[in-house]
Amino acid sequence: MKKRINWLLMGVSLLVTVCWVGPVVAQVSLELLNPRGEVEPPPTLAPAPRVTDLAGKKIGLYWNGKIGTDVFFDVVEELLKKKFPTATVLRYSGAFDLGGTIAAKMAKECNTFIYGVGD
């Protein structure tokens, strides 16, 4: 009997709270922010057209100094000269990044080039 009275009192108090006080509703608005900055992508460059035939062309081989690539390029040069006897092979070497100076020199002197990295 005591339990029923407790339940009845809780129900009445809940009913009184809802009817007289009313439900408490608060409106909340949230603003969502994106923490990433907006960075403009660099301009896209189209790849250069492929060389259709290597006969009579100047082919540059760029070696960045890694061990083993020089030996590999020796074989590549030998194979190129066998397959394209009128082609000229020019050897270049330098840092991993060609840089503007070497790239401009190779663009002026070569029709196409092979960039090699060892390891």
What are the pLDDT digits (tens) for 44-99? 988 888 889 999 999 999 988 888 888 899 999 999 999 999 999 999 988 888 88
- The residue extents of the domains of the chain are 58-116
What does the pLDDT read at residue 8?
A: 54
Band (106; pLDDT cuts 50, 70, 90): very high
Cβ atoms of residues 60 and 110 within 8 Å: yes
> d(Cα 94, Cα 115) in Å, to the nearest integer?
11
Token representation of residue 77: 């040069």
Token representation of residue 114: 């092979």
> d(Cα 118, Cα 89) in Å, to the nearest integer?
19
What does the pLDDT read at residue 9?
A: 57
pTM of the model: 0.59
